Amino acid sequence: MNSPVYPDSVIINRRKTPVKRQEIEIEKIMFDVENPRISLAKDTFEEEKEKMTQGQIAYALKRNSYYYDLKASIKDNKGALYDIWVQQLPKKNYIVIEGNTRLLIYKQLSGEYPEEKNFKKIKCVVFSADLDDEGKDFIRLTAHLNGTNEWDTYEKAKYLYALHEDHKISLETLSLRTKLNKSSIKQDIDAFKLMSTQFKKKYGNKKDFVHKFTYFVEYLKNKNLKQQMQNLNFTDADFCDWVGIDKFLNVRDVRKLDKIFENSDCRKLFLERNYDIAIEKLSTIEPKYSSTLFDRISMVLIGLRKMSNKEEEEIKSGQNNAKKKLLNELKEEINSILDDE
């Protein structure tokens, strides 16, 4: 297995920073409590001000969607393809800056295969103890936001918010370093800001409050809804209350709220009751909103209208009997519902 060749220094935030490359015993390396990929788990804890233990960090890392694929790759290759980045601490210990999940996998494989020496030490790019917070943030930024593994939208937004609001990194710089769209970054930051400054103050005692983040993303994306609310003198605080008292069953409901607000009767039912009652009323006006079934029918119609001429000819000519049979079954079901004779 060949690893990348690392020089004796790297450029971090336009500054030359000395590094050394060495293999380090995994017992000497600690997980990073500031790792942005565990912020969702960290914010879920009841005692949010308490720092996570190493065991709690390990548990949070295992919940990442890519964990098992990465573990299989490291096991098959007898090691990680890329070195982890660590900072030296006093007493010859180290803390991970980038590579927490790889370190966890080494620790687990070392326990599962005690005779396998490859998992006793891990290859590291080592930074000195005087690496400042700005340098560590730069490493986390490029490693996580522009990395190969998808990560939770809440964790990403929280980190972007901290970098922009606390560290005063501009949207332009964040976009340049992460290759993310500037408007997308702003949207995530605004959603996290709304959630953390207004929603959390009132509903932060709920254990699942961090899982409501996507509601605020969808809310800010829905420009029509925002305009309607402004015209009717509703504010962001009102939306926070609707989320907080569970007027919605899931985040998809937020995407249709503007349709409910367009009708005064539906809007009244939403405000006095909940989303379900309002959407039921709306379904009498527009059937596609009556249930997930009609949502799917709308998607099927879109798909049929976009069908290529080639695929349509294959079905008509019998080259694809499976699709033809399915369409005939659909036709029969529709006719049985609409046939009033």
Which residue in 232, 48, 23, 252 sits closest to 125, CA to CA? 23
Ordered mean pLDDT values, 10 residues apiece, the chain (341 residues): 57 76 94 78 58 80 79 90 89 89 93 93 91 81 59 80 86 83 91 93 82 92 93 96 91 90 93 89 73 67 75 81 86 78 45
CB 171 within 8 A of CB 182: yes
Report the distance separating Cα 128 and Cα 87, nearest Å: 6
pLDDT at position 140 is: 76
Cβ-Cβ contacts under 8 Å for 311 (sequence gap 6 or more): 320, 323
CB 144 within 8 A of CB 179: no
Q: CA dist 20 to 67, 142, 148, 256, Å?
A: 28, 20, 24, 54
| CA 204 to chain CA mean position, Å | 20
pLDDT at position 46 is: 44
pLDDT at position 1 is: 43
Report the distance separating Cα 146 and Cα 8, nearest Å: 23
pLDDT at position 49 is: 47
CB 191 within 8 A of CB 235: no
pLDDT at position 117 is: 92
For the record, the structure tokens of 209 come out as: 């409050």
Q: What is the CA radius of gyration of the chain?
A: 26
pLDDT at position 7 is: 60
For the record, the structure tokens of 138 come out as: 């730069």
pLDDT at position 135 is: 82
pLDDT at position 180 is: 80
pLDDT at position 159 is: 84
Coil, helix or strand at residue 251: coil
Q: CA dist 264 to 32, 232, 255, 291, Å?
A: 52, 11, 18, 21
Report the distance separating Cα 269 and Cα 277, nearest Å: 6
